Structures are given as structure tokens and as C-alpha cells.
Amino acid sequence: MSQTADTHTAEIISYEPASGAELWRGKHGDVDSLVDRARRAWPAWAAEPLTKRIELVRRFANEVRKDQDNFAELIARETGKPLWEAKTEVQAVIAKVDISVQAYADRTGQRKLDSALQGVAALRHKPHGVMAVLGPYNFPAHLPNGHIVPALIAGNAIIFKPSEKTPAVGERLLSYFAKAGIPSALVQLLIGGPDEGKDLVAHRGVDGVLFTGSAQVGIAINRKLATEPNKIVALEMGGNNPIVVWDTPKVSDAATLVIQSAFTTAGQRCTAARRLIVKSTMYDEVVGAVKSLADRIIVGAPFDEPQPFMGPVIDNATADHLTESFLYLLSNGGKAISHLRRPQDERPFLSPAIIDVTALNDRPDVELFGPLLQVIKADDFDEAIAEANNTRFGLSASLVGGTPQQYNRFWANIRAGIVNWNRPTNGASSAAPFGGIGLSGNHRPAAYYAADYCAYPVTSTEVEQPRASTGVGFKDA
């Protein structure tokens, strides 16, 4: 198991998924004290010039850059992802600063419009106050950082609760803000499990909740805050994402895109392809190519040489759940193409699995967060689109192959926040908005549009001296 909490010592303990070795331990935090400290600190931060806030977050990026190798090693150890992938995550953390600075200027900058006798119409933005950031374990640095940096630039204070499965990375991430000279009260770490998360979300001193994680937890947050419209809530949840392969002569390239979509990060990406929908007449060729490539995937520990494509999933409980899900699909009409195998019973390594579920009458609409790809045949393009939309989620979708006209139909009819053509379902750019609909989010896209929920617009009409006159409906003086 990757993570346990000892209720007797009130500690969170983190274990390396690949080896089972203890990596980190720490005590549960006190929500009330953290919120109180943040509330006292944020007004002074909000009053600082924007240029100073930007300068300090740029220093943060430099601190990460100076320690990038050590940071990547820690991410790899705590998540189990290969070192090469951990390094790309650190680069995303660094790049987020410049992107956020540009996004703040584009999305929440000041505007003034002269209006003759009506004075000046002004648009400015104010920070919300104290923001709760709840992070996931799959990208424990990059994804919470994508909330924290825009929120800081806007003038907010942040309380960051990392996943209880990746607290060491969360702690290290916040250390770079402190080294950059950002007051510690402005970016605080809350160690804890679900109880601390619930208390933080519900705390009356928290002005906004920025969440990345499962639909189940996101729905619970939404329900909890239904009577508090004063709190800004941004939910980035998972997906049951389709990748549709249609007419194309480039079967090898199509198979590579499917593999990248389904099995990067051991399938532990919210944008990972969960369902491959393939034209019936291309089924044998495409699925055969996908299987052949999947069979070549190296699964291993983060620092193995040669480097693996896939590491373990986050813990044994997750591996057990995925194994049970594969067996459920198999016993209810699924046809195994590549079996889900677990080479070490005591460790959460899994082989990439592929299963045809075309014959299942009632396919479960759930996010199976791991290396498990379901395959569905479709006879015509309308059927493929309908099958792609056969989900309550709506994060990402890709069409591989097809004509420009078919892509236009695909784009117009697919219910998703990210729609790609001849590209994987994952690997979205931080320079674009990121988010989905349905169970994938609440129409508050992150990445470039994170600036939108980190500050609220204030409109003003302004004249240097009072000037007014009466109109219709007054008696003569």
C-alpha cells in the first residue's frame, strides 16, 4: 500500500509504490489555525503591486529550476512514475509561471474606457481572499501549482492540501515558495486525509475551493457548498474519454496515438483514453497493431535502465480495484485482448490491459484510473459519435483518421472540453484552457483560464467631481 494514516499517532505516512519503502511521515494539520493565519496575511499581499507579486513567483520558478533534478527524483519516488516523466512534470511547474503572468494580463487585466460626460468606465479585478487548493496524486506538483501560481498573482492566500498519497511532493513544492521570499502565511501546507479536506472546504474563512481529483469527491464538494454561492468553486475531475479510430492508411501511427492516450502515466491521467472506438472494417488491423505495441511496453520502477514507459499505479488498493474491474468486464461479456497481469503480488505494477466490451449490454460508465483500455466496434460514423458520447463525463476526446468533414462533425457533436484530431487525448497545453463538462467539471476550465476564477471583476464609473442634473418628474425650483 502506498499510503496509510496511523490514527493512534495522527500521522500520514507515504510509501514508495515501486519498492514499498517508507518515504515520508508527518502529523495531521490544524485547519482552523491555518485559515486564521491566512486570513490575517492576505490583505497585505493583495495590496502589494502586481509587479512585486509577479517578481516573487518568478523567483519561485528559479528556485524550482535550481533544484529540478532533486525535485524530479522525489516525484518519481513518491508517485512511481518513470524519472523521464517526473522531469517533464518539473518543467511544467517552471513554465507555469510565465504562462500565468500572460494569462492574468489577458484575462484579468485592467480596462478603462472614456465616456465623455459619463466619466470613465473602469474594469479591475479583486482577489477572493483565502483559497483552498486540493491536489491529486498523479501530478502532485504540476496540477496544484496550476492553481497556486495564478491565485498568488491575483493576490490570494492559499492553503494547499496535497493528496494523502503524495504529501512529500506537496511539502517540497511549498518550500520553493518560501525560498523565493513569499511569506509563509500566504502559501501554507495542510497535511491530512479526507477529514481535513472536508473541514477545509467547509470552513467559513475559505473564500474559494480549487479542486483536482475524482468525480465522487468533486460532487461531494459541490453538494457541501450548494448553499454558499459566495464561495468560488472550480472542479477539475476525471473522464471516461473516447479515442475514435476511423479511416486511415497510417495504422501504425494510429496505434501509437492510442497507446500514448491510454497508457502514459500508467493510465493515471484524467485525460487518458479509457475507450477505443474503432471502425468495424478496420478492427483487426487497428486492434492488432495496438496490442502488438502494448506488448512491447516496458513496465518498471522509476530509475530502472532502460527507462520504462510505465511505472506502477499509486498503491496496492488501486491495483486491486483495477484487477477486480477487469474481471468484472471479462465475466460480463468482455473479450480479453491483453490480460491485466500483476507480476508482483505485493507491489502495484500492472501490465497494460486491453479488453473488447462491444458485447456488454450495460457498459459501466466509470473512470477506471489505470492502464485498462476498453475496445468497442462501430459500423458507421454516427454510431461512433453516439458511442463516444455514451458517458456522463466530458473531458477529452480524439478522432484519429477520418476526413476534415468528419472531424468537423466530430468536433461539433462531441460533448467534451478538449477535442483533438490525430493527436492523443492527453498532453494538453498549459497555454490553453483545460477542463470539461458533465462529471468532468463545472465549466471553470483551468490552465490558461485559471486566472478567471482567481479574481472577480469589479466595474466602476468614475468622475473626478460630482456632476448631476435632474430630469423628468421634478417641479420647477
CA–CA distance, 209 with 187 (Å, rounded to integer): 14
Question: What φ, ψ does residue 457 adopt, rounded to 5°?
Answer: -75, 140
> 394 and 443 in contact (C-beta within 8 Å)?
no
Chain centroid to Cα 121, Å, comes to 37
Residue whose entry in the numeric block shows the C-alpha cell 472536508: 198
Instruction: Name the average pLDDT for the chain.
Output: 95
Question: What φ, ψ does residue 11 adopt, rounded to 5°?
Answer: -115, 150
CATH code reported for the domain at 241-421 = 3.40.309.10
Q: What is the pLDDT of residue 1?
A: 39
CA–CA distance, 422 with 404 (Å, rounded to integer): 11
CA–CA distance, 464 with 378 (Å, rounded to integer): 67
Q: What is the pLDDT of residue 361?
A: 87
Indicate if 270 belongs to the active site. yes
pTM, two decimal places: 0.95
SS3 string, the chain, reads CCEEEECCCCEEEEECCCCCCEEEEEECCCHHHHHHHHHHHHHHHHHCCHHHHHHHHHHHHHHHHHCHHHHHHHHHHHHCCCHHHHHHHHHHHHHHHHHHHHHHHHHHCCEEEECHHHCEEEEEEEECCEEEEECCCCCCCHHHHHHHHHHHHHCCEEEEECCCCCHHHHHHHHHHHHHCCCCHHHEEECCCCHHHHHHHHHCCCCCEEEEECCHHHHHHHHHHCCCCCCCEEEEECCCCEEEEECCCCCHHHHHHHHHHHHHHHHHCCCCCEEEEEEEHHHHHHHHHHHHHHHCCCCECCCCCCCCCCECCCCCHHHHHHHHHHHHHHHHCCCEEEECCCCCCCCCCCCCCEEEECCCCCCCCCCCCCCCEEEEEEECCHHHHHHHHCCCCEECEEEEECCCHHHHHHHHHHCCCCEEEECCCCCCCCCCCEECCEECCECCCCEECCHHHHHEEEEEEEECCCCCCCCCCCCCCC
Q: Give the CA count within 13 Å in the CB-facing half-sphere of 199.
A: 16
Indicate if 454 belongs to the active site. no
Q: Please classify residue 332 by burial: count the beta carbons closer than 10 Å to its beta carbon, then call 0-12 exposed, 13-18 middle and 19+ buried.
A: middle
Residues contacting 242, CB < 8 A, separation 6+: 273, 274, 275, 276, 277, 387, 388, 391, 397, 398, 425
From 78, 89, 164, 236, the catalytic residue:
236
Closest by alpha carbon to 240, among 350, 100, 369, 383? Answer: 369
Q: What is the fold, at CATH topology level, of the domain defined by 3-237+441-461? A: Aldehyde Dehydrogenase; Chain A, domain 1 (3.40.605)
From 164, 270, 367, 387, the catalytic residue:
270
Residues of the chain with pLDDT under 50: 1-8
Q: What is the pLDDT of residue 477?
A: 79
Domain ranges of the chain: 3-237+441-461, 241-421
Alpha-carbon torsion (309, 312, 313, 314), positive or negative: negative
